[in-house]
Amino acid sequence: MSNISSQNPVVLYHASCERIVTARRVLGADGPDYVAAMYLAGLAVECILQAHALRSGASPDAGHSLALWLSRCPSRVREGVTGQTAAEWNTLRALWDNRLRYFSRGGLLGYLRLRGFARGISGGPEAIIRRNAKVLVAAAEAVHSRGRAQWESFTRR
């Protein structure tokens, strides 16, 4: 049973790949679900970081903190994320929160306004939500892609 556990690095790796694809699909859909896209994109990064951390022997108790999961990853993963994708990592950390899964569109708008992510965006609530969703998903894709490349390079050894 342990080989299909949510704490199995390989299971987490595959889940991360599925979540990032789903986030992009949901974002690009006719009548996109911005809240779901944002949540799934961050979850994809959480899963890939967990996969790296757990494979290297970290304990599975970091909750939903991207920063904490990254701190438990091997140094090559930490350096890749905070080096090559530093801007995207910072954007993702600023925008994503595990509690996004509980938000309605109105709740998301309030969250974005409260955190200062509505400033400078014209076009009203829809434009604010759409812009931030696209920014978060793009940032998550970059970080996930880096994590995936590192996973695959380690696996090929």
What pLDDT shows up at residue 61? Answer: 82
What pLDDT shows up at residue 40? Answer: 98
User: Average of pLDDT values for 71-99?
Assistant: 95
Per-residue pLDDT tens for 132-147? 999 999 999 999 999 9
pLDDT at residue 3 is higher than 60: no
In the chain, how many H helices and how many E strands? 7, 0
Domain ranges of the chain: 2-156
| 46 or 6, which is more confident | 46
Q: Residue 35: count other Cβ atoms within 10 Å of its Cβ.
A: 22
Pair of tokens at residue 72: 């438990």
pTM comes to 0.92
What pLDDT shows up at residue 157? Answer: 58
Structurally, what CATH architecture does the domain formed by 2-156 represent?
Answer: Up-down Bundle (1.20)
pLDDT at residue 38 is higher than 60: yes
Q: How far apart are CA 150 and CA 134, in angstroms?
A: 24
Assign 63 a pLDDT band (cuts: 50, 70, 90). Answer: confident
pLDDT at residue 1 is higher than 50: no
